[in-house]
Structures are given as C-alpha cells and as structure tokens.
Amino acid sequence: MIRSRLAPTPSGYLHLGNALNFLLTWLLVRRRGGVLKLRIDDADASRSRPEFVADIFRQLEWLGLTWDEGPTGPDDFAARHSQLQRLELYRALLTQLGESGRLFFCTCSRRQINQATVNGLYPGTCRNRRSLPTVPHAIRIQVPPEWSVSLPVATTGPLTTTGPQPASPTGDFILWRRDGLPAYQLASLADDLADRINLVVRGRDLLASSAAQLYLAGQLGAAGQGFWTATFCHHPLIAAPDGRKLSKSDQDLSLAAMREHGATPTRIYREVAAWLGLDPGPIGSLGELRAAFNASPAAISCASPAPAGRPDLQSRKA
C-alpha cells in the first residue's frame, strides 16, 4: 500500500508552491487508495512559531485536503506530534549511523566555513576529529566526493517523469546540530523509516536532500533498504512573478495573503490542473480535479532511485 506524507516546516506561512506540492501528493495517494500522513517538521525549534503551525491547518482545511494519520489540529500537534518529542528516535538513528565509521565532530562555525571555501561547501576541516570536543560542536558524516544517485525528475505541461538525473549530497553534511537538536536530513529520514513512507513527493530543489537521505539509508544496510525501494517524484517549482523561487519569507505570496486578496480554492485547483497539463476550465472543485487527474494519461508516474547509487546497501564502509 502507498504511504506518503505532507511534511511542511512551520518556519513561515504556506505559499502557492506548498499548496501545489500538497495537492499533487494528495492526488497521487488518493488515486492509489493509499495512506497519507500529516507530519510537521519542527525539529528546527529556532524557526518554528505557533502561528505558522496554525496556518498549516488553516490552509489545509481551506484547500479541502484530508489526511489519515497525524495531528488533528495545533493543540494535538503540540501535545503528541512535535518532532521535539521524538528525540530518542533520532538519537537511536545517530547511534546506528555511527557504526558506519564515517561520523565526526565539527567545531567550525558557518563563518569559518564560508571563509575557507569559495562554494559554501564544508571543506573537511574536522574530518579527523573523532574525540568529543569540549566546545560547542556539530556531528557530520563524511561523504565520498564521487558519491551520487540518479533520481527521477518531473517536468510539467503535461507533468511526466524524465531522467533519472544524478544528484549528490552537499558535502559532509550535518546530522546533529550545535544546539543539541537533530538536523533536517537525519530527522526526516528517521520519520520516513518509522512511518514506512514509500512515496516521497518533493520539489526539484530538494534533489540534494533526497540524495543525502539515501546516502544515510545506505549506511544503515538492511534497516534503510525501505527508503531505497520507495518511489520519488521531484516536481518543478512555481516561480514568483520576478522569476525567483517562492519562499515562506515572501509574505506577499502566502496563501493567507492570496485569500485576503480574494483567491478561492477553485483558483488553486485550476492552477494545479494547468500545472499538470490538464484543462483547467471544467475544474470547479477538488473532486473534479481528482477525477480529471485520475482519468488523464498525463498523470505523473513516480520511480525509484536508479540502481547505480545502491552499492552502499551492500558495502557500508566502502
């Protein structure tokens, strides 16, 4: 059975790009009779705000989207579903990853990294630091520079799968942060494994994140194999009128602001229909969008990572 998730971060108000991702995920899961979970990724406590959590539920209700597992509202989320209540799960995964022999302590600040490299990637300064420092530090994982994985990428108009395209993690990335909290890559993988997620729908800007999480899953051997057999859909992004990527910091493009200026769910459904290569004219409801999506041969198909990236499943320390 298909199992997928909506996984917004409460670091700002949801925008049109989030709505399109959520609707595509919902359509794919409902077409297959699968299970959809709402998971709010709030491990970055410094950026999470209660008003952003509330906005997630408000906009999902406005769009008419339903889910089968997860919090029913902001209070239920705070009481039972925050990632901050799953720190033991994340620490356990960190311990498992430590068995790969690739983890190391890093005392570098972001400023020091930026000064030491021209491309912003971690230059490997602390790769040989294996003893616990007495100063604030992060925990990173060493990634061979040649490691990459081929992932399916989708194009629109009509939306179809192309590729696969190679993707690499962004250097030796962080697993555990200086503030004592799990980094996104580790927390996301831990939750996906625990929730048995086998369909991951993301924007193309997260190709490197998928590659990083697949690399981690490879270090887990058989315990991470479920993530390698999942199907992935990396879809195109919706750009702002000036061509830039939509961001939660662009409040003028938030769903809340759009609603204040008269936007309706029907407008969003038609945006999604056009994005999928469907005729938006007849679309007046979520049910009509779902029916058109199910009936269209242009409906997107997803794929698993290409086998070329999978040797880490057999050789965790290669």
pLDDT at 173: 95
Amino acid at 203: G
Sign of CA dihedral 251, 253, 259, 262: positive
State pLDDT tens for residues 125-172: 999 998 888 899 999 999 998 888 988 787 655 555 555 677 888 889
Total structural domains within the chain:
1
pLDDT at 313: 38
Whether 123 is covered by a domain: the verdict is no
Residues 6+ apart with CB under 8 A from 131: 105
Whether 134 is covered by a domain: the verdict is no
pLDDT at 97: 97
Residues 6+ apart with CB under 8 A from 208: 167, 168, 169, 170
Whether 124 is covered by a domain: the verdict is no
pLDDT at 159: 52
pLDDT at 262: 95
Contact by Cβ (8 Å): 68, 140: no
Which of 270, 253, 255 is CA-nearest to residue 59?
255
CA atoms within 13 A on the CB side of 187: 24
Identify each DSSP E strand in the chain by its residue range: 3-6, 35-38, 103-106, 138-141, 149-155, 160-167, 174-176, 199-203, 231-235
pLDDT at 40: 98
**CATH number of the domain bearing residue 216:** 3.40.50.620
pLDDT at 165: 72
pLDDT at 241: 64
pLDDT at 26: 97
Strand, coil or helix: 65: coil
Look up the pTM and report it.
0.90
Contact by Cβ (8 Å): 43, 184: yes
Whether 116 is covered by a domain: the verdict is no
pLDDT at 179: 93
Which of 155, 177, 166, 154 is CA-nearest to residue 211?
166
Which of 199, 188, 268, 184 is CA-nearest to residue 14?
268
State pLDDT tens for residues 86-107: 999 999 999 999 999 999 999 9
304 vs 229: CA distance, rounded Å: 6
Amino acid at 214: L
226 vs 196: CA distance, rounded Å: 7
State pLDDT tens for residues 230-281: 999 888 887 666 666 666 665 557 999 999 999 999 999 999 999 888 999 9
pLDDT at 315: 32
Higher pLDDT among residues 189 and 109, named by residue: 189
Whether 135 is covered by a domain: the verdict is no
pLDDT at 163: 55
State pLDDT tens for residues 268-316: 999 999 988 899 999 999 999 999 999 986 556 677 886 554 544 333 3
pLDDT at 167: 81
Residues 6+ apart with CB under 8 A from 50: 74, 78
* Domain boundaries, position 266: 3-102+142-314
Whether 132 is covered by a domain: the verdict is no
67 vs 3: CA distance, rounded Å: 11
Whether 107 is covered by a domain: the verdict is no
State pLDDT tens for residues 1-34: 999 999 999 999 999 999 999 999 999 999 999 9
pLDDT at 314: 34
Whether 119 is covered by a domain: the verdict is no
Both tokens of 145, joined, read 């520079």
